[in-house]
Amino acid sequence: MGRVGKLPTKVARNHSFTMENGHTQHSHSYGDVKPKLISRLRKIEGQVRGIQSMLEDDRYCVDILIQLSAIKSAINKVGLSLLERHTRGCVTGAIKSGDGDHAIEELMDVINQFTK
């Protein structure tokens, strides 16, 4: 869990700044795709519930496995979409402001995590 737990801290440090009122404001690049990501996640929630029902209804194993693989692919789509926004937004911004090496290192770590 150490590696996984490490990422949010790094991201928060990288993409947040403190407002005059002392509150921390996050500046991520996914603002424009946020509604789409949320609606995809809601759909995935429904798919997960569907699998619970399939189990409760003693449905055939292979049918359940096919639904599980559909969820995996839906989750990957959400991840890839976020990854693209992060690369085009946050990483590009970090490169322009001279913090490119760190942002690319972090990006490669998360890609590595994501493709496991």
- Minimum CB distance to Cu ion, residue 84 (Å): 10
CA-based torsion, 1, 108, 103, 105: positive or negative:
positive
Nearer to Cu ion, 26 or 116 (CB): 26
Site of interaction with Cu ion (CB under 5 A): 28, 86, 90
Which residue's beta carbon is nearest to the bound Cu ion?
90
Q: How far is the CB of 3 from Cu ion (least distance, A)?
A: 18
**Sign of the CA dihedral 65, 67, 73, 78?**
negative
Nearer to Cu ion, 50 or 93 (CB): 93
With CA atoms as reference, report the closest residue to 11 among 78, 92, 107: 107
